[in-house]
Structure formats: structure tokens, C-alpha cells
A = this chain, B = another copy of it.
Amino acid sequence: MSDKPVTIHDIAEMANASAATVSRVLSNSSYPVSHDMRRKIRAAAKALNYTPNMLGRQLKKNNSMTIGVIIPSITNPFYADVVLGIEEIARKHGYHVLLCNSHQNPQLEAEYLQTLLEKQVKGIIVSSISRQKDLLQPYLAKGVKIIAMDQIIDNPDVYQIGFDYRKGAYMACRYLIGQGHTRIALVTAPLNRPSRISLLNGYQDAHREAGITPLKAWFQESEDSEDISYGSAFEFTNGKLLTRKLLHMAERPTAILACNDLTAAGVINELGEYGIEVPGQISVIGFDNIELSQMLTPALTTVDLPKYEMGRFACSTLMDLLEGNEIRAKEVVLEPELIVRKSAAKLE
């Protein structure tokens, strides 16, 4: 099989043209080429079963038409949604996406960043977990455009797009309080990200506003662990573990807010194992509104975050940046929305 691959020179020869002319027609340049020549070249290309070598073009044009996307894990449906949005926009602009799973590993994240640069990527969308502030500086210095998604990065040259986690948690708690709940627990993964801290703030704000002081013990944070890498089962298990702690307390809460739907699934599951009815005895609210949430029994009341839209928005902004268009805003915050389903109810 594979002989020497066909190049524009082969086509040139066959069509009695020069490589330049071939390039002009095959790359759809606006450069004038006679109709006849065009035809001959197209025919030759087809006859030889020609496939353009983008490496050549890209090297010449210094543009790989590829963007990099770094996320913690594609196994998390939250990110799968985001990536879908990114990809859609990228495709529309003729860009490809190099997807990198950092597996919550800062080392890996740094490595990927480097490789992306070597691959001549001109733009990167990243949901970073690195706490290292200046990790991105060398890349920015080289002119790479960077969009931070979901996780804010403290750097004036980085475009930011995220959700209002505070407001989401605030809305959820307000809702519960409105339903008569005064004993609301917060079950969350470690507060090692700004988003999680905002979430806690929303929880506190809603309580303060209502003049309620929740027990310290109702705030349950799972232990910080490095290798969360593999799958959503980790979050689920967290939800179970923390719920168990809650149930072993003298003063049980009547409602539980979880930092995400996966965790909420664990909460509900554990409550089930203790024979506690949801929402009859304890109400549960999740966060994210991934598709899982409607599949649970009872269907999960949760805070929707427009994940797909965030992906689209992040990528649109990046495209604007790369194409030299005007940018709307350097910092964008997307609004959450409370999705009322069946897992939270009025306190009797």
C-alpha cells in the first residue's frame, strides 16, 4: 500500500501547472486562476486521490487551527457538556480541539500546557486546578490566548467565564427556608476551589438574611485528596460518607444541599440505606443539573448551571480573540437557575 504520498507537485506535473497554481486552487484562494486550469487541477487531484498535508500549510502559515482544552476529567458529565459546547463552536470556525484530561493533577496540567504550546496552539480553554498563580504567564507572554472556565484564575491577561455559585447556593437555601426548613446541611467536596467557597458564601448569606444560625457540624466537607481522577464514583461516595456523619449526629438536619449532583446522588442513596424518606423526612438539593439528576428517584431538585452555554461562550470568545474581533467582556458570569423537581419538599 502506502507509497510516497501525493503532493501538490505531483498534481502540478499531471495538470501541466506549477505547484503555486495548484496550491491556489486547492486551498480555495481568491487568487485568479482560469476556469480551465481549475478544472484540470481538480481533476488531477481527484485522479491521484490527493489529500492535503495540513502540517505543511500550518507550518507555513504559523497557525495550527487547533485550540487546546484542559479539563479535570471527561468522565465527569459536567465537563462532557461543556466540551460539547466548545466543540460545536470550534467546528463552525474550522478549528479542532485537542482535549486534555488533567485528572486533577497539577503536574499533568503543566505538561499538557507545554505540549499544547509545542503543537502551536494559539488559544487554550482551561478549567484549571493548579494553585500556582504564574503557571500561565510564560504562555501568555508568547501570545497564547487563554480562557479560564469555571475556575477563576487570578491573572489580568486571562479571560474569565464562570458561574455565580454564590447565588446558586443562595437560591437553593432561600427555597428551602421558604419551605420551612431551618436546619440545612451543606455537603461538599473540599473547599480548595474558589467556586466551592462561593457556594459556602451563598449558603451563609441565605442563612444570615433569614436570621438563622446553622450548626457548624452541618457543614460537612470531604477530605482533600489528590487523586480523584477516576470517575464520578468518587463524588458519589463522598456524598454517602458525609451523609453518614450527618446522620450520626444528635441534631439532624431536615435538608441537605450538595455541592453537585453526583454528591447529591450519594446523599440520597445513603439516606435510602438508613430508611429515611426523601423528601418526606429529609429534603435534598443538588447542583449542576446534569442529566443524572432527572434519573434519580426522587427526581433531584437542583441548581442548573448552563454548562453547554459556558462551553459555547468560552469558545466564541476565544474565536473572537484569535480572529482579532472586538471582545465583549473580559469577565463573564453566567446565571444559575433553580430546577424544582421532587427531592425537596415543604417541612411538615
A interface list, Cβ under 8 A from B: 1-2, 5, 49, 51-56, 58-59, 62, 64, 73-75, 77, 80-81, 83-84, 87, 96-99, 101, 114-115, 117-120, 138, 140-143, 230-233, 236, 262, 265-266, 268-269, 272, 291-292, 294-297
Contacts and interface: CB of A to CB of B under 8 A. Distances in A.
A118 B51 CA distance: 6
B58 A118 contact: no
A240 to B, nearest CB: 10
A295 B292 contact: yes
Contact of A297 (B56, B230, B297): B297
Contacts of A291: 231-233, 236
The complex is assembled from copies of this chain, and their number is 2
A269 B292 contact: no
B272 A55 contact: no
A119 B232 contact: no
A2 B59 contact: no
A230 B84 CA distance: 9
Given A80-B74, A84-B74, A291-B233, A59 B55 contact: yes
Given A75-B84, A96-B115, A295 B54 contact: no
A79 to B, nearest CB: 9
Nearest to A272: B297
Given A81-B231, A87-B101, A97-B99, 9 more contacts: A1-B140, A2-B142, A74-B83, A77-B77, A96-B119, A236-B295, A268-B297, A292-B292, A296-B297
Contact of A96 (B1, B98, B117): B98
A118 B6 CA distance: 12
A55 B51 contact: no
Nearest to A271: B297
Contacts of A53: 59, 118, 120
Contacts of A294: 233, 236
Contacts of A96: 98, 115, 119
Nearest to A122: B2
B54 A120 contact: yes
Contacts of A265: 295
